[in-house]
Amino acid sequence: MISLRKETEYAIQFIQYLSKNKNKCCSLKIFAEKSKISFYFMQKIARKLSQNNIIMASHGVSGGYALKAPNYKINLLKIVQVMENGVKLLPCVNSINNCNRALKRCPVRTMMCKINKKFITAMNKIDIF
């Protein structure tokens, strides 16, 4: 079964939350409490999103997090690439060197490369907000 990590799921939830509050900084602590997610885990996720220019942090009393570009659509592909370190259904999809059989004409790799491309195309069409 193909599944995304909880980290990715929570990142999507946080981005959707921020998109509803476009021009305001939102408290990560409040989001974590409302969502029943560990605040420390959310800090790790927010740091990764911030380092990849998806959200920005504002410090101080009225600080928090906001979308880097509030009017710009963020698609599922961007979030998955950041949180999952790329999109690959099998290790060999990105490099034949990752295959323990190292076959040049592996029928499974050929098929998985096609599926991976379609998967990427589909995720690129899905806007998070």
- What share of the chain in percent tops pLDDT 90? 56
Q: How far apart are the first and last CA of the chain?
A: 26
pLDDT of residue 112: 84
| CATH 3.10.180.10 is the classification of domain 6-124 | no
Please give the pLDDT value at position 96: 63
- Which pLDDT band holds residue 3 (cuts at 50, 70, 90)? confident
Give me the pLDDT at residue 38, please.
97
75 beta partners: 127
Task: Tell me the per-residue pLDDT of 33-91, one tens digit each, with 9 for 90 and over.
Answer: 999 999 999 999 999 999 999 999 998 888 899 998 766 789 999 999 999 988 877 77
Q: Give the pLDDT of residue 26.
A: 94
Q: Could you tell me the pTM of the whole model?
A: 0.85
Domains of the chain: which residue ranges?
6-124
The identity of residue 91, as a single letter, is P
Return the ∠ at Cα 28 (arms to 56 and 7), rounded to 5°: 85
Cα-based angle 51, 52, 55 (whole degrees, multiple of 5): 80
